[in-house]
Amino acid sequence: MSRVAVPALEDRATLGIGMMLAAWLFFSMIDTSVKWLVLAGLPALQLAFMRYVGHFVISTWAVARGGMDVERFKTDRLGLVLFRAYLLTSSTALNFIALLYLPLTVTASIMFTSPILVCLLGRPLLGERAGPWRIFGIVLGFVGVLVVMRPFGTEFHWAMLLSLNNALAMALYSILTRKLSGVVSTEIMQFYMGLFGTVVLLPTAIWTWTNPTTTLDWVLLVLLGVFGWAGHELLTRAHRFATANTLMPYAYFFLLFLSISSYLIWGHIPDAATLIGAAIIIGSGLLIWVRTRKRAVLRTPPGV
């Protein structure tokens, strides 16, 4: 068992939601940087490798700063920790393949079924019950995503199955994160995620490597790992304070963050459908938050 301390779970949903929103802000910074670098001519799999190798370096330091003792890197949940890392790495890789055949709107819309899958799987895998209002909020948020992305009319393609796998992988990743929180330290989960992604993607990075041509591109390339580590650090810690059912719907805010960065950098102005969909997404998040707060108040003993 690792010597890194494992904080206990706490019922602080508001803090968990705040961490989740910050995590998705960092994830939007990854996608914005990747779009910039892809347009600059850098291979996508090279960028995926840099996202994980930076993560690996930072997470290794986080574990080793208490001493380079091999016991600090051990965990008695190694199988689940590695499976969690596999889910995220495979989702990244398969998403690149799906994007070769499908529009971004289609892959993203399918991926955003993850909150619904978390809601459905949370009961049998975690024992977390999602009430009717929370289910309604999750479905409402998904409707908002469909309004924004408008994927209707696209014919079926086998690559859609890859995107569906990504949605399932992200749902299981969220559930596993909650299951491991309070048992395995965030630092250990971060370390093995970075290690797994780095080792798996190293061959493709060597094969496709292209040097950036500007200082800004080099900076963004290095920051991919920093953004990735920071996002997953916050996401993992958020699961200490709230259930997967409560946190997962806030992934919808990822779309809002991307809309803002697209406008600021490339001048893309959201149309009416995007604004309507964004309002629906925000409304779904607020609905779930209000219901969560109400349930927390009802569980609090008088005088506390």
What is the domain count for the chain?
1
In a domain, 2, yes or no: no
In a domain, 64, yes or no: yes
In a domain, 3, yes or no: no
Q: End-to-end CA distance of the chain: give it in Å, rounded.
A: 36
The pLDDT of residue 129: 67
In a domain, 106, yes or no: yes
Q: Which two tokens stand for residue 173?
A: 């990743």
∠22-25-27 over CA atoms, to 5°?
Answer: 115
In a domain, 134, yes or no: yes
In a domain, 1, yes or no: no
The rounded distance, in Å, linking the Cα atoms of 50 and 42 is 11
- Of 86, 88, 85, the closest CA to residue 184 belongs to 85
pLDDT digits (tens, 9 = 90+) for 87-143: 988 887 777 677 667 665 667 777 777 777 777 676 666 666 667 777 787 788 778
User: Helix, strand, or coil here: 9?
Assistant: coil
In a domain, 135, yes or no: yes
Share of the chain above pLDDT 90, in %: 15
**Which span out of 35-44, 69-78, 82-91 was modeled with the highest average pLDDT?**
82-91
In a domain, 86, yes or no: yes
Output the pTM of the full model: 0.72
Residues in the chain: 304
Q: Is there a contact between 194 and 52 (Cβ–Cβ < 8 Å)?
A: yes
Q: Is there a contact between 146 and 280 (Cβ–Cβ < 8 Å)?
A: no
pLDDT digits (tens, 9 = 90+) for 131-177: 777 778 778 877 877 777 666 655 567 777 888 888 889 888 888 88
- Dihedral angle, C-alpha 44, 106, 33, 29, nearest 10 °: -140
DSSP state of 248: G
* Structural domain range at position 288: 10-295
pLDDT at 232 exceeding the cut of 70: yes
